[in-house]
Amino acid sequence: MAAGESRTRDLHSREESVVASARGHFERTLVQVRGAVVGSVAAMEHPSSGEAANYGEVFLRDNVPVMFHLLLEGRFAIVRHFLAVCLELQSRSDQTRGIFPTSFVEQGEDLIADYGQRSIGRISSVDASLWWPVLCWLYVRRSGDRAFALDTAVQEGVQRLLDLVLHPSFEGTPVLFVPDCAFMIDRPMDVWGAPLEVEVLLFGSLRSCCHLMDLAQWDRPCGLRQKRLERSHRWLRDLRAYLLKNYWVTSKTVQVLRRRPTEQYGDDQHVNAFNVQAQVVPAWLQAWLEDRGGYLIGNMRTGRPDFRFYSLGNALACLFGLITAPQQRALFRLVLRNRQDLIAEMPLRICHPPLDAEEWKEKTGSDPKNWTWCYHNGGHWPSLLWYLGSAVLLHERRHPGSDSALMEQMRQLLEDCYALQLTQLPRQRWAEYFDGPTGTWVGQQARTYQTWTLVGFLLLHHLLRIEPKDVELFAIDPLLPPPGGRTVL
């Protein structure tokens, strides 16, 4: 007993030491703009010679977990300042009106923003723009700062974003079409079209915009705002129905898909609207799905669905309430069954399976960073684990008693993953990503002391060890009562 207690104390002491070290590193990532802390740089260390790297800039995407961490700590002023600076930098130009910057940096007295004009491939980061309303709404809900949501500049920023994403196009579907490299997967990976992560973020972004507009509508009713609110609600319903119909797959739906007729034309024939041939359904899906697993595929394009599993898009679909509770449990069963593929030695693989040598050459333009099992092509990103962990813990809170055996297994999986990161990340200097089939090698071009690696670990630690109920922060829910006690949405 004494030996066991001693080991427990040693483990607890080591955990406290690692957490304290991670917090110290995180504090050193914080930077100021106009004399006040605005957020974190992407990484503490970056090349000091040759062409200047942009890891010393403030990236909106990278600061999503940073802002969540600060909200949990009650450091609301930093989050408000970050949101305000991003809003100030929202583009007003004709070509890019409404988009938020991928990153920004203060140079002298000027703020320099990147809207894609300096990025590799010169592509705008769509996810940056879609994350801003989500962060804004969750900030308002957590802090109670209704005045910020009601500010004219915030409401106008929401309208500019809606004008950007809800517009007529040549495509009659409710999804947002984007080029390759337009979100977290920011190098060519054949994800052009309507990639899952962007569409799930669009769903979360529209829900958040609706909440923010609702607050203003109760405070100052406006006919134009009401029309936009109604239009956003319709778009939300259509988007969710579209994604559940065309992106959600199980063993049963795949079998149906393989037997659908092709070459259909006309108004009344919709069973194979995208003309998907049976030959494009990969053989690995049979073992991957088994009987009770399910997930959202990566993309649906005419004749070319992308059946790869993307971790972030599926985790966010749970947090944002896009997929139903039974579908979430089907997703958890799939993760458990394919634990060796997705978790291995460093949770969590960004996508599976990777493109092989020939596909890599053709579809990535021979991008050396995305070689098979590297970077976004099957690499392992520890920053993604807290998203999956939050999805599991939120499901436990929202649906207590539902398939308790499954949820117990998922809880144990999270504990195992947390233990892996607790041991490995400090040794590997909080690397950005890991390569190889098991994720044991530090990425070939990975930065160390990567901010979202540090903060992702701290967020999971908070939810597992400090305050599990704080997982409610990450759900876009109507928890902020407006005047008169009415419920938002």
The pLDDT tens digits for 148-169 are 999 999 999 999 999 999 988 8
419: pLDDT strictly greater than 50: yes
- In this predicted structure, what is the pLDDT of residue 8? 61
CA distance 311 to 324: 17
- Of residues 418 and 7, the one with the higher pLDDT is 418
In a domain, 1, yes or no: no
CB atoms inside a 10 Å sphere around CB 218: 14
* In-domain check, residue 17: no
Tokens representing 134 are: 């989500």
Q: How many residues in the chain?
A: 489
Supply 370's token pair.
């995305």
pLDDT in tens, 333-387: 999 999 999 999 999 999 999 999 999 999 999 999 999 999 999 999 999 999 9
Q: 489 or 442: whose pLDDT is higher?
A: 442
Confidence of residue 391 (pLDDT cuts 50, 70, 90): very high
User: Would you state the pLDDT for residue 480?
Assistant: 39
pLDDT given for residue 3 in this prediction: 55
Could you tell me if 442 and 431 are in contact, meaning their C-beta atoms sit under 8 angstroms apart?
yes
pLDDT at 489: 32
Residue 2 confidence (pLDDT) above 70: no
The DSSP H or E segment spanning 104 is: strand 103-107
Predicted confidence band of residue 49 (pLDDT cuts 50, 70, 90):
very low
Amino acid identity at 384: L
pLDDT value at 488 more than 50:
no
pTM of the model: 0.94
pLDDT score, position 166: 92
Residue 286 maps to a domain? yes
Predicted pLDDT of residue 479: 41
Task: Specify if 473 maps to a domain.
Answer: yes
Q: What is the 8-class DSSP label of residue 377?
A: B
Residue 264 is predicted with a pLDDT of: 78
Burial of 443 (0-12, 13-18, 19+ CB in 10 A): buried
Q: Which residues span the domain enclosing 88?
A: 30-263+272-485
As a whole number of angstroms, the distance between CA 322 and CA 318 comes to: 6
Predicted confidence band of residue 260 (pLDDT cuts 50, 70, 90)? confident
- Write out pLDDT tens, residues 430-450: 999 999 999 999 999 999 999
> What confidence tens digit (pLDDT) does each residue in 126-154 have?
999 999 999 999 999 999 999 999 999 99
User: Tell me, what DSSP letter sits at residue 294?
Assistant: E
Residue 10 included in any domain:
no
Which residue would you say has higher pLDDT here, 274 or 455?
455
Residue 136 near residue 100, CB atoms below 8 Å: no
| Residue 421 maps to a domain | yes
Q: Are 216 and 149 in contact (CB under 8 A)?
A: yes
User: Does 356 fall in a domain?
Assistant: yes
3 occurs within a structural domain: no
Average pLDDT, the chain: 92
The number of domains in the chain is 1
Q: Are 280 and 320 contacting, i.e. CB atoms less than 8 angstroms apart?
A: no
Return the pLDDT at 45. Answer: 67
Residue-wise pLDDT for 295-308, tens only, equals 999 999 999 999 99
Q: Residue 203's domain is classified under what CATH number?
A: 1.50.10.10
Please determine, for residue 72, whether its predicted confidence score (pLDDT) is greater than 60.
yes
Query: Shortest CA distance to 41 belongs to which of 49, 124, 32?
Result: 32
| CB contact at 8 A, 234 and 171 | no
